[in-house]
Amino acid sequence: MNPIIITNKGQRDINQDYVLAQNINSDTLLLIVSDGMGGYDHGEIAAKLAAENVLAYLSTISEINPDQLQKAINKSNLAIRQLKQEKKTDAGATVGGVVISKNNAICFWVGDVKIFHLRNNKIHFESSSHTLINEVKNNGSITDTNRLRKYRHIVTRSVQGEIKDSQVETKIIADLSEKDIFIICSDGVHDIIDGLSLQYLIRSSGDAKKATGKIEERLKDEAKDNYSMIVVQCI
């Protein structure tokens, strides 16, 4: 598998996203997109710390499962807590990733980095972001879509030093098929190109690499925020 990676600052001054694609061993590939939280200082450092501490922890264990992924996120929390204490400021990141091992995958996320799994060029799974807009939609307290817009970018879970606010959500996908596709992307991507649009681009292009090129062209024209994406097709 050869992951295709896009990351760019968009119209921001710096890129506070961090992208990681690395083999943990001969059978296991780890993919992560980490997004430094807007409004906080040192977002680019927090994003890197979050991703690299997940990698560091997972590299030390023999079996990766949801419990171990939570422990990996806890390690990232500790690193960001230390950053906050050293810099005397707020810092945090949202994280989404996929661990692919042999013919199985575990998707994991905290916050609003999205994960899509496509099979036969159709969305088989799409993660639900940990945002206030999704919470109020789910509990039905506000139904007016115009009123909901202001909650769009408020995350309810993130990696910012507090374990209680960073409970990881996971999805296990067994029996991967040849040519299954995973897409992991920050909100700078999925704010502009939603799941159905991604599905259309993959299907119409007939090739993950060609589709990624089309997505990148659109993001270069339209993205105001940082944008990052990993696309990988199973072989």
- The residue ranges of every structural domain in the chain are 4-128+158-233
| pTM for this prediction | 0.93
Can you give the pLDDT at residue 178?
Answer: 85
Residue 231 token pair: 């696309």
Report the pLDDT value the prediction gives residue 151, as an integer from 0 to 100: 63
3-state SS, the chain, equals CCCEEEEECCCCCCCCEEEEEEEEECCEEEEEEEEECCCCCCHHHHHHHHHHHHHHHHCCCCCCCHHHHHHHHHHHHHHHHHHHHHHCCCCCEEEEEEEEECCEEEEEEECCCEEEEEECCEEEEECCCCEHHHHHHHHCCCCCHHHHHHHCCCECCCECCCHHHCCCEEEEECCCCCCCEEEEECHHHHCCCCHHHHHHHHHHHCCHHHHHHHHHHHHHHHCCCCEEEEEEECC
**pLDDT the model gives residue 137:** 72
Measure Cα distances from 135 to 108, 128, 131, 140, 143 in Å: 19, 10, 7, 8, 12
Number of neighbouring beta carbons within 10 Å of residue 126? 20
Is residue 48 a contact partner of residue 18, using CB atoms and an 8 Å limit?
Answer: yes
Which of 3.60.40.10, 3.30.70.100, 3.30.420.40, 3.40.50.10950 would CATH assign to domain 4-128+158-233? Answer: 3.60.40.10
Instruction: Write down the residue that tokens 């919470």 correspond to.
Output: 135
Q: At what angle do helices 195-205 and 208-222 cross, to 10 degrees?
A: 130
Q: Residue 213: what pLDDT?
A: 94
Residue 212 has a pLDDT of 94
Q: What is the pLDDT along the chain (235 residues), one digit of tens a residue?
A: 789 999 999 999 999 999 999 999 989 999 999 999 877 778 999 999 999 999 999 999 999 999 999 999 999 999 999 999 998 889 999 999 999 998 999 999 999 999 999 999 999 999 999 988 887 777 766 656 566 666 667 899 999 998 888 999 999 999 999 889 999 999 999 999 999 999 999 999 888 899 999 999 999 999 999 999 999 998 7
